[in-house]
Chains A and B, each alone.
Chain A
Amino acid sequence: MTALIALFWRDLRRAWGSGALWLPVLFFLLVATAFPFAVGPDAPLLRRAGGGMVWVAALLAALLPIDRLVRPDKDAGVLDQLAVRGFADEVIAAVKIGAHAIGFGLPLMIALFPAAALLAQDASRVELLATGIAIAIPALASLAVLSASMTANHKGGSAIGGLLVLPLAVPMLIFGAGMLDPSGRGAIKLLAATSLLLTMVGPFAAGAALRGLRE
């Protein structure tokens, strides 16, 4: 258990080291800032489209660091050393998912509030956005670690990685943005179910991908 905690903190330290903590935050705010310039300062339009934009930006922010999640550990031999010590690949993947969920999820939740303000979201919609994204963060982290594990053997893997997980992330976008619609009452339950499923499958799928890296 101490070993897994050490592993978790190491991932978190590397995620937040050298100012990388602010990377998803900056990216997220960049999208929120650029969007009103692109569609014009029409507040009702911004309010309607902005919520969906927040969801797209959150998904991309989760995928932003996938280059850093697995590949450096594979190249440095860290994954091999852990395998020699008998850690199951699924456990390593689960720890990485947990660390990524905190590493990018926490700053993302904080950045959500200024981003929502820039996109003219009112208090009730900010609440829905915050709830939805908090539900989705474990699943987004799961997808990011999965795609990072699958592409760790390839140069420029992050671009392919994004394409790989996009179809899996689409249901979350639909239900997450659907929560904002006044008629979307059941969307939060569907979002939670989707998130739970992806979070449960993630460690096993990513673990299998990590095992494949050694072959």
Chain B
Amino acid sequence: MTELLRLDSVACIRSDRLLFENLSLVLNRGDALWLRGPNGAGKSSLIRLVAGLLRPAAGTVERRERIALIDEASALDTELPLRRALDFWARVDTVDGHTVDRAMDEMALAPLAEVPVSMLSTGQRKRAAMVRVIASGAPIWLLDEPANGMDDAAQARLVAAIAKHRSNGGAVLLASHFALGIPDLAELDMGALA
């Protein structure tokens, strides 16, 4: 089974406004799709719809595998040291400490393990959220503006993590204002749908 995600003529209505309709897409193993478009085009709504957090007004969303999501909220307890905040999600996802260690190395966060989440910058929190996504082991990644606040080095690590995930048979749905320099990236212009 190579197909991980299928959307069939999906429509999305947010507060009485039709954001898009008749949207169909398929993500297979190894695929990456870039959702582009201006603010308000429905990129984040599509991500939430795929994540199951919104119900489509029409059409069907089929998820064949587990999902990991990044959105604007980091969902990390700000009063805890970074490592303990990530350990909570590791327990929820039932993955062991080594997996978290490796993911932290991948995003170069190991030196910040003991720093409280409240002291981290925007970019560092995004990297921490990426650690949660990587460690979760979910085959489908939904990344809503994952590079916000990231510096060039962190962006390079993000691109590398995405490449590694794809080569391991995962798929990525990415909503972003700008291309991150990801090779072999399919595009969906949400602005053209409205």
B163 to chain A, nearest CB (A): 23
A56-102 at interface with B (beta carbon < 8 Å)? 75-78, 80-86
- Chain B residues near A7 (CB-CB < 8 A): 92
B33 to chain A, nearest CB (A): 18
- Chain A residues near B76 (CB-CB < 8 A): 76
Q: Is the CB of B92 within 8 A of A83?
A: no
Q: A155: CB under 8 A from chain B?
A: no
Given contacts A7-B92, A18-B79, A76-B75, contact A81 B54 (CB under 8 A): no
A10 to chain B, nearest CB (A): 6
Q: Is the CB of A6 within 8 A of B67?
A: no
B127 to chain A, nearest CB (A): 16
Q: Is the CB of A84 within 8 A of B52?
A: yes
B96 to chain A, nearest CB (A): 11
B31-69 at interface with A (beta carbon < 8 Å)? 51-54, 66-69
Bound-state CA distance A6–B92 (Å) is 7
Q: A17: CB under 8 A from chain B?
A: yes
Q: B2: CB under 8 A from chain A?
A: no
Q: Is the CB of A85 within 8 A of B92?
A: yes
A170-215 at interface with B (beta carbon < 8 Å)? 214-215
Within the complex, which residue of B74, B77, B94 is in contact with A3, where a contact is CB–CB below 8 Å?
B94
The 8 A CB mask of B92-104 against A (1 = contact, 0 = none) is 1110000000000
Given contacts A2-B94, A6-B91, A214-B53, contact A84 B69 (CB under 8 A): yes
Given contacts A214-B53, A214-B54, contact A80 B75 (CB under 8 A): yes
From B68, B72, B77, residue with most partner A Cβ within 10 Å: B77
Bound-state CA distance A75–B89 (Å) is 17
Bound-state CA distance A80–B73 (Å) is 9
Q: A14: CB under 8 A from chain B?
A: yes
Bound-state CA distance A162–B148 (Å) is 39
- Chain B residues near A78 (CB-CB < 8 A): 75
- Chain A residues near B88 (CB-CB < 8 A): 6, 10
Q: B71: CB under 8 A from chain A?
A: yes
A175 to chain B, nearest CB (A): 39
Q: Size band of the A side of the interface?
A: 20 to 34
- Chain B residues near A82 (CB-CB < 8 A): 92
B28 to chain A, nearest CB (A): 21
Q: Is the CB of B79 within 8 A of A17?
A: yes
Q: Is the CB of A76 within 8 A of B73?
A: yes
Q: Is the CB of A81 within 8 A of B77?
A: no
Q: Which residue of A lies closest to B68 (CB)?
A: A84
Bound-state CA distance A76–B77 (Å) is 8
Within the complex, which residue of A6, A18, A80 is in contact with B53, where a contact is CB–CB below 8 Å?
A80
- Chain A residues near B92 (CB-CB < 8 A): 3, 6-7, 82, 85
Q: Which residue of B lies closest to A83 (CB)?
A: B53
Q: Which 8 residue pairs are nearest across A and B when measured between Cβ atoms? A: A77-B73, A6-B91, A77-B75, A3-B92, A81-B75, A78-B75, A84-B69, A84-B51
Apart from A3-B94, A5-B91, 20 more pairs, CB < 8 Å: A2-B94, A3-B91, A3-B92, A7-B92, A17-B79, A75-B73, A76-B77, A77-B74, A77-B75, A78-B75, A80-B53, A80-B69, A81-B75, A83-B53, A84-B51, A84-B67, A84-B68, A84-B69, A85-B93, A214-B53
